[in-house]
Structure 1
């Protein structure tokens, strides 16, 4: 790698060892969860600047519930991508729990933000769908 070049997820996980997952699946999930953390935070911030019918009343959304869903999602996605990045000594019970929590939080955001026509909600909804799918793909590969 060139000195000063940005290190990507693939290089980071290769250097730490991946443990129980195929590297490609793990990279996909970690990248999706990092994007979800960012997009959830951005969507919550955008909604916090909305007033009345501009967001919430007119599009069938409960603004407070949607902001809470976004913040919960950002937290769960952040925890999940950090736990997944720790390498092969990670506890499978913890991995399962954080992946399930991240997928559940993402699903809630799909419902909350999926009703809104706003660009930030549309970006967030797609990010949440992608991350939930990646989390569930990893869950499907875990031993029972």
Structure 2
């Protein structure tokens, strides 16, 4: 992995001379890496900073180059990944007959768990997929 971009996170600051700057923390002091001016400048700066931070964090976790990852994803692939994740998860209950169809946990005899429904286990792939998809969509 060869990341030559400014490492995140970056943040948005109202510039005293007008407009909005996107800054990083170089030695604890904000350093401007981009400026946005105009009617939509605050929203544009927020979008750029959030996108920058999202790709920087994802690339770090995946041990990839953040710039190359962002360039590959710019055609809307993130939406395609989310849709594929939701399609793989499906609409059938995760737990059927007391057994999770994804992680195999046995909830038969567990009075706190219905014999069908969503698996509550934090490490169940279906639970993780459901929670992540809801967080991405903002429906949590």
Larger radius of gyration: 2
Q: Which has the higher helix share?
A: 1
TM-score by length of 2: 0.31
- Larger RCO, structures 1/2 (Cα 8 Å, 6+ apart): 1
- The structure in which a higher percent of residues are strand is 2
Normalised to the residue count of structure 1, the TM-score between the two structures is: 0.30
